[in-house]
Amino acid sequence: MRPYTFWLSSSLAAALLTPLVPVTAGDPLGFSPGGARAELQWEAKFKAIPSADTIRETIRRLSAYPHHLGSPHDKENAEWILARFREWGLDAHIERFDVLFPTPKERVVELVAPSRFVARLREPAVKGDPTSGQLDLSLPPYNVYSADGDVTAPLVYVNYGVPADYEELERRGISVKGAIVIARYGGSWRGIKPKVAAEHGAVGCLIYSDPRDDGYWQGDVFPEGPYRPRDGVQRGSVADMPTYPGDPLTPGVGATEGAKRLPIAEAKTLTKIPVLPISYGDAQPLLAAMGGPVAPPSWRGALPITYHMGPGPARVHLRVRSDWAIKPLYNVIATISGSESPDEWVIRGNHHDAWVNGADDPLAGLGALLEEARASGVLLKQGWRPRRTVIFAAWDGEEPGLLGSTEWVEAHADELRTKAVAYLNSDTNGRGYLRMAGSHILEKLANEVAESVDDPETGLTVGKRARLASIHRGSPSERKELRGGADMHIGALGSGSDYTPFLQHIGIPSINLGFGGEDGGGVYHSAYDDFYWYTHFSDTSFVYGRALAQTAGVMAMRLASAELLPYSYTNLASTVQGYVGELEKLLDHERDEVMELNRQIEEGTYAAIDDPREPMVIPAKKDVPPHLAFAPLRNGADALTRSAGRYADALRAARQRGDTVLASSSLRAVNALLVKSERRLTDDDGLPGRPWYRHQLYAPGLYTGYGVKTMPSVREAIEQHHFAEADSAIVRLGGVLDAEAALVDSAAAALEAASR
Amino acid sequence: MRPYTFWLSSSLAAALLTPLVPVTAGDPLGFSPGGARAELQWEAKFKAIPSADTIRETIRRLSAYPHHLGSPHDKENAEWILARFREWGLDAHIERFDVLFPTPKERVVELVAPSRFVARLREPAVKGDPTSGQLDLSLPPYNVYSADGDVTAPLVYVNYGVPADYEELERRGISVKGAIVIARYGGSWRGIKPKVAAEHGAVGCLIYSDPRDDGYWQGDVFPEGPYRPRDGVQRGSVADMPTYPGDPLTPGVGATEGAKRLPIAEAKTLTKIPVLPISYGDAQPLLAAMGGPVAPPSWRGALPITYHMGPGPARVHLRVRSDWAIKPLYNVIATISGSESPDEWVIRGNHHDAWVNGADDPLAGLGALLEEARASGVLLKQGWRPRRTVIFAAWDGEEPGLLGSTEWVEAHADELRTKAVAYLNSDTNGRGYLRMAGSHILEKLANEVAESVDDPETGLTVGKRARLASIHRGSPSERKELRGGADMHIGALGSGSDYTPFLQHIGIPSINLGFGGEDGGGVYHSAYDDFYWYTHFSDTSFVYGRALAQTAGVMAMRLASAELLPYSYTNLASTVQGYVGELEKLLDHERDEVMELNRQIEEGTYAAIDDPREPMVIPAKKDVPPHLAFAPLRNGADALTRSAGRYADALRAARQRGDTVLASSSLRAVNALLVKSERRLTDDDGLPGRPWYRHQLYAPGLYTGYGVKTMPSVREAIEQHHFAEADSAIVRLGGVLDAEAALVDSAAAALEAASR
């Protein structure tokens, strides 16, 4: 699954209330001067080990055959990875779960009126690409967790199929009730599209890849270029991931042999209507046969047709039948025990299953992870002993819905709650800029690590390159901040890769890492994401694979060996202040919008601008959003800012005293507090309507899926105009921030005491 | 030629320093209470006369055959119009000029490498459309005033072919030297494209209509819908109109029989390289054969290909040969002599020549004008006597470059300088909203007139409908201003229709009128702009033709009969203040951009963001723009604001005293001053490098053509970083504003004296 990655971004407009220490100041975060010296020596040795050639060979080997969950090569790859971990001296095993994984038995898409056309629904082999023709070993294009169904109905084009698109349809008086919708990929997690379609009464859903989004409009198509060819199809899960990820039958518990399973009919994350993905070659005749209003400009793709919204006259027959089987999945887990704090865990993961051959997704990331494991083995032989336990995980079943990671986290939830210090994730990887998103208590560490790895193309550090790129495209205020040496902001995580159970279910500080921006392409989840494609169009010399191994490796090493956990609360606090400001602005914006809408309705503006030949429904007046009492949030954020400042002062004082303090064994008590700090941002009751999601700062949006909603309980209530809910969410979230502030305050006090 | 029209727009962000009188306050501008009563009665009679059916019949008759300059039906149409004017009782004649009008002898476009393709270069007949097959009577697609030439060269895609596009090419190290460029229509006057191409060393130029801009991307194509079909081609002039319009051989003088003519080789407005327009059907194989970098997103059209910039490998052979003949043109002029001030002229014009059948361009506008003339004849029989002389003009030769109007204006320049009170232009017309652009001393009149005409679709006045639409899409500050009752701002005029010689050569208050916004299409300058197209897709019931006749007719009547010329200097002054503010901001923006560019070059940002597989040229540092002394402009604008306020006060006082004052014969002296006021905004030396253009507030941009540059001498100098030139232009323009202020002040004094 392609992670929904963020650039190191400076988009957070919040004033930085506490000055951030420039990244160049002093030793790595959390280390005493002596500890830092040793650490930097080990890191230098580590960084010399990852080899582009080895990564190339790993990716070549593991992408040789399709290796989706449940396939022979999925299991074989897991066993090969296990053998490597063991060969490198790590304590490794395979951990199996049994999960619901439907695979297609019947797939039909045909235009039945006004003319006839039968969709091809398959990806032909490409000449010169040796792995593109393994049709007997691969799953054909489909959307896993689609309902079974057989429907014939008029077609309605719904653009990306997100809620705002249905508002646009309603303005034209177009209903999808009883219709089959055709949505284009993009704009949301694909599972949102059938969910929203069904909520509006549609009976079926087609999802196609428009050439505007990842085909010829973007660049030359495969095999001449990296973009999606005419018959390429994006497979993928349509589970309702924002409700819960993982096995649909075992929410909240590991899908072990004896686990209690829901009947399929009760699994809440399966779609209500049949869904199939199609290529633009198959979509064009369907779209060209449509009538109704011309779609608005932002809906129009790059097919050589006029895009119409429907409904009809195109009528489509859609049939989907799956084999609803339980399949085994194989997580490969390797452990290096910590020398001093074995019960503090740093976990590094990347999935190994793919939709087809998966050279980019997931092997470009997994190739780096395996190099980190190999390098760790080399270092261990040289005497390196991480203070904390390091766990490498190659997850299975990520593509259907983060199955391997989610079941593992659910199975080990209690232990993880006590022990986990951080989770570092990767997935795809390409050429260009370091992209990092995750927990903001890791933001300073991320900035420091980015300054210690060299960019293969420019000779700059990857941090410096990302910083200059942010300056280049930043606003004047962002440029000023970045030039002043402030930490680059990392984005927050929504969902789409294996960090979700760690971060959002348990509250483990998590970060997602990868390179990209110079590696455009359109083979995502198709048979063409293979070694031929990757070695012609992406990180062809695998030097960014090496850079990813160096970046994630150094980050894991620092987390594993810092005397004091390398968290920064000033970064967290300034981010939180920014979120509160955004929510206030959001509410003001909603209020202004409604007031202006109502006024224009009263003035007769909508009647005046109506074109009688393209009539629109005049909107109804709305209730004006009330003012909300944001004080609990502001107070919580301010308390956190104060505590974070106190902690930063205490840390600075401790650093100035040097080895004697930071090496002190009383730091163990401080660490015991710090390890709880991301957990304290969760709530056992979870988010409204989706108890699985417990983190109160970060969640995938209910109607975005990939895209994050920060402070989701408050933000989504405001967006949906549930203001009573927003009011109580503000109070609860204020309490969470107060509790976090109290925890950080007690950590600061403990650090002050340790320094005395 | 399609006029480059502006909406009634509220885009002018300038503070309105003098409060504007709401449009509903009191009598029409310039009338005494008694005069107003009579005027409004005549207007009511007038507005009842124009008939949609008559307009339909006029357009049908005049569009029955191709009627380009020099064709039999051009002359026949002129004679028919003359007969109608005379039938209605007007004093009419044909005024002939003889102009250079090359027509094609040879046209060849062929791809010669890497494959072969011969362009079709013609527009086939469309089934069901009776006039689309008159190929023997029409000119084939070509660009008039293209140089002759025969070249074979690699192709470079230059987007719209404006200067910014060549900067984008340079960043990629792509030169057009020795190449044939292919540009898409849009983004500028088409004559800019070969001009800029030749300036950069290109040897040929193709211009095609991308379906993104007026083809299937916009909507269904002809004959199923109104947009440009695959083989439709936009003909048109490529003269360097921003240097001077009209006959290329007689700049500044009328092209009468004995006029002194330049040798063709010395005519500055002909292109330096051969140019041909092609359809997207012909363009696609050429563009698809190109290599080089993928074009940036904003360059990509809607053809189902990846757009590349070149150069090559596509090589194209282009041959253009014309018959460089002198042809006669026939302006039809009809006059109604003024009863009291026959030497004050109100001129109403629209061209009659078309590229092919021209139902929309120009007959939709001409149909309205002829109804105004017919209605005037009816009113004359009922005893109506306009105070001033009204002239109706049906221009010939507008399409090749405003030939008929320009030669007429040049031939009558001295008389026009003394007598002309206003010029009202129209050209195409369609369905939707009233669009007005022109001299800002006519802005208040335009607002008043818009409130007196009913919109056919909504029952609102056309002014109210335009106002509500402006509120709907305006910024909060624009909405506030409009809701406060301020006059809607009219846009300034660049070029593209017959107002240019009146406004920009002589300094006659001019306005361009038309309806549109609900009448999209893509048959402009093709064989498909015909009666079939118009009656299926545009103002099919001709009710907006009637509304245009009512709007232009009422405006002409008020200008012709107001005791005091209905000019508003407060509108002019606030517009001028806005322009000065824009220039100051423009300079600040240029300075900020250069400083930021230089800083990023110093920081190494451009090196850091360079993708080695798509290398870009690192830009060179630029000189930082100096501060300029804007005081002369500010002082001039402030003086004008004060004079305008004094004039408005004097007018208000006069109105309050009623008939005795405004009817006074001493108003003749005031009018004698007012009539000079737009002329006072011109300079006999013209604009830098183009002496034909004399207006100091409005000109077509040297590199935009259609698009206006306000305060052009200063604005273009700043844009081109000619700061010494800008400095002296500011001083000169400040002087022009001072002189205008002094004139308005003396008019105010004269009005005060008349009221005593």
Minimal C-alpha gap between B431 and chain A (Å): 9
Overall pTM surpassing 0.80 (yes/no): yes
| pLDDT at res. A149 | 98
Q: Do A469 and B221 touch (CB under 8 A)?
A: no
pLDDT digits (tens, 9 = 90+) for A565-596: 999 999 999 999 999 999 999 999 999 999 99
- Are residues A201 and A74 part of one domain? no
Q: Tell me: pLDDT of A16 over 60.
A: no
Min Cα distance A41 → chain B (Å) is 28
Same structural domain, A432 and A332: yes
A2 assigned to some structural domain: no
Using an 8 Å Cβ cutoff, are B444 and B572 in contact? no
Kindly determine whether residue B225 and residue A306, on different chains, have CB atoms separated by under 8 Å: yes
Say how far apart CA A556 and CA A238 lie, in whole Å.
Answer: 33
In whole angstroms, give the CA distance from residue A94 to residue A82.
7
Residue B1 located in a structural domain: no
Position B27 scores a pLDDT of 86
Q: Which of B217, B220, B468 sits opposite A608 (nearest CB)?
A: B468
With respect to residue B424, please indicate whether it lies within any of the assigned structural domains.
yes
With CB atoms and an 8 Å threshold, state whether A608 touches B469. Answer: yes
A429 found inside a domain: yes
Residue B1 has a pLDDT of 61
B716 shares a domain with B661: yes
Q: Does B44 map to a domain?
A: yes
Q: Is B585 exposed, middle or buried (0-12, 13-18, 19+ CB in 10 A)?
A: exposed
Q: Is A15 helix (H, G, I), strand (E, B) or coil?
A: coil
Residue B285 touches chain A, beta carbons under 8 Å: no
Q: Is A112 helix (H, G, I), strand (E, B) or coil?
A: strand
Handedness of CA A248, A252, A258, A262 (dihedral sign): negative
**Beta-bridge partners for B709:** B699
In a domain, B533, yes or no: yes
Q: List the 222-261 stretch of B: residues with Cβ below 8 A of A.
A: 225, 227
Contact indicator for A392, A371 with CB cutoff of 8 Å: no
- The verdict on a CB contact (< 8 Å) between A468 and B518 is no
Contact list, B608 vs chain A (CB under 8 Å): 458, 460, 464-465, 468-469, 472
Give how far A348 is from chain B: nearest CA, Å.
30
| B219 → closest Cβ in A221, A294, A611 | A294
For residues A343-363, b (16+ Cβ closer than 10 Å) or e, as one string? ebbbbbbbbbbbbbbbbbbbb
Q: Rounded distance, CA A385 to CA A341, Å?
A: 11
Q: B595 contacts in A (CB within 8 Å)? A: none
Contact A472 B609 (CB under 8 A): yes
Q: Are B466 and B434 spatial neighbours (Cβ–Cβ below 8 Å)?
A: yes
Residues of A in contact with B217 (CB under 8 A): 300, 306
Distance from CA of A542 to the nearest CA of B (A): 15
pLDDT digits (tens, 9 = 90+) for A306-353: 999 999 899 999 999 999 999 999 999 999 999 999 999 999 999 999
B140 vs chain A: nearest CA distance in angstroms?
26
Which CATH number goes with the domain that contains A148? Answer: 3.50.30.30
Return the pLDDT at A27.
Answer: 86
Query: What average pLDDT does the segment A514-536 reach?
Result: 97
Identify the domain boundary among B291, B324, B357: B324
Range of A702's domain? 570-755
Q: Does A469 touch chain B (CB under 8 A)?
A: yes
Judgement on whether residues B502 and B540 belong to the same structural domain of the protein = yes
Q: Is B605 on the interface with A (CB under 8 A)?
A: yes
Which residue among B550, B567, B584 closes a domain?
Answer: B567
Full 3-state SS string of A246-310 = CCCCCCCCCCCCCCCCCCHHHCCCCCCCCEEEECHHHHHHHHHCCCCCECCHHHCCCCCCCCECC
By DSSP bridging, strand A420-425 and strand A510-517 are: parallel
C-beta atoms of A221 and B306 within 8 A = yes
Are residue A491 and residue A515 in the same domain, yes or no? yes
pLDDT at B654: 86
Q: Which of B7, B10, B468 is the best residue to mutate to test the A interface, defined by the most A CB atoms within 10 Å of its own CB?
A: B468
- Say whether both B428 and B478 belong to one domain: yes
Whether residue A310 sits in one domain with residue A336: no
Candidates A306, A458, A613; nearest CB to B220 = A306
Count of domains forming chain B:
3
Residues in A touching B220 (Cβ below 8 Å):
294, 306
CATH number of domain containing B721: 1.20.930.40
- CA distance to partner chain B, nearest, from residue A407 (Å): 41
Output the domain CATH number for residue A349: 3.40.630.10
- Verify whether the Cβ–Cβ distance A609 to B216 is below 8 Å: no
Residues 699-738 of B with CB under 8 A from A: none
Q: Which residue of B has its CA nearest to A217?
A: B306
B619 inside 8 A of chain A by CB? no
Q: Give mean pLDDT, residues A24-30.
A: 76
Q: How many CB pairs (< 8 A) connect A and B?
A: 98
Q: How far apart are CA B685 and CA B706, in angstroms?
A: 22
Inspect the interface and report whether the beta carbons of B302 and A304 lie closer than 8 Å: yes
How near does any CA of chain B get to the CA of A172, in Å? 16
pLDDT for residue A312: 87
Is-contact A220 B291, C-beta < 8 A?
A: no
Cis peptide before A194 (omega within 30 of 0): no
Q: State the Cα–Cα distance between residues A206 and A182, nearest whole angstrom.
A: 5
Q: What is the pLDDT of residue B19?
A: 32
pLDDT, tens only, A452-503: 999 999 999 999 999 999 999 999 999 999 999 999 999 999 999 999 999 9
pLDDT for res A1: 60
Q: In this complex, which of B216, B220, B306 lies closest to A219 when CB atoms are compared?
A: B306
Kindly tell me if the per-residue pLDDT of A663 is higher than 80: no
**Does A294 sit within 8 Å of B518, measured CB to CB?**
no
Binding-face residues of B in 487-526 toward A, CB within 8 A: 518
- Give yes or no for B464 touching A (CB within 8 A): yes
User: Which of B8, B217, B287, B455 to probe by mutation at the A interface, max A CB count within 10 Å?
Assistant: B217
Tell me which residues of chain B have a pLDDT lower than 70: 1-25, 659-661, 663
Q: What is the CA radius of gyration of chain A?
A: 26
Contact B305 A612 (CB under 8 A): no
Nearest CA in chain A to B480: A596
Cross-chain residue pair A468–B294, CB shorter than 8 Å: no
Task: Inspect the interface and report whether the beta carbons of A607 and B458 lie closer than 8 Å.
Answer: yes
Using the Cβ of B756 and the Cβ atoms of chain A, whether some distance falls under 8 Å is answered with no
- A549 and A617 inside one domain: no
Which of A211, A216, A609 lies closest to B472 in CB terms?
A609
CA distance A357 to chain B (A): 26
Same domain for B318 and B347? no
Distance from CA of A458 to the nearest CA of B (A): 6
Q: Using CA coordinates, name the residue in chain A closest to B479.
A: A596
Same domain, B425 and B520: yes
- The answer on A156 and A35 residing in a single domain is no
Is A3 among the domain residues?
no
Domain boundary among B534, B552, B567: B567
Q: By the CB < 8 Å criterion, does A588 face chain B?
A: no
**CA distances, A664 to each of A649, A661, A672, B610, B674 (Å):** 18, 5, 14, 47, 91
Taking an 8 Å cut-off on Cβ atoms, the answer to whether A304 and B216 are in contact is: yes
Rounded to two decimals, the ipTM of the complex is 0.94
Q: Residue A10 above 80 pLDDT? A: no
The shortest C-alpha distance from B175 to chain A (Å) reads 22
Are B611 and A302 in contact (CB < 8 Å)?
no
Dist CA A723 CA A618 (whole Å): 25
CA–CA min distance B630, chain A (Å): 26
Cβ atoms of B74 and B68 within 8 Å: the answer is yes
Euclidean distance between CA atoms A426 and A434, whole angstroms: 12
> Is the CB of B306 less than 8 angstroms away from the CB of A600?
no
Find chain B residues with C-beta within 8 A of A519's C-beta. Answer: none
> Do A520 and A384 fall within a single domain?
yes
Out of B220, B300, B465, the one facing A217 most closely (by C-beta) is: B300
**Is B190 within the bounds of a domain?**
yes
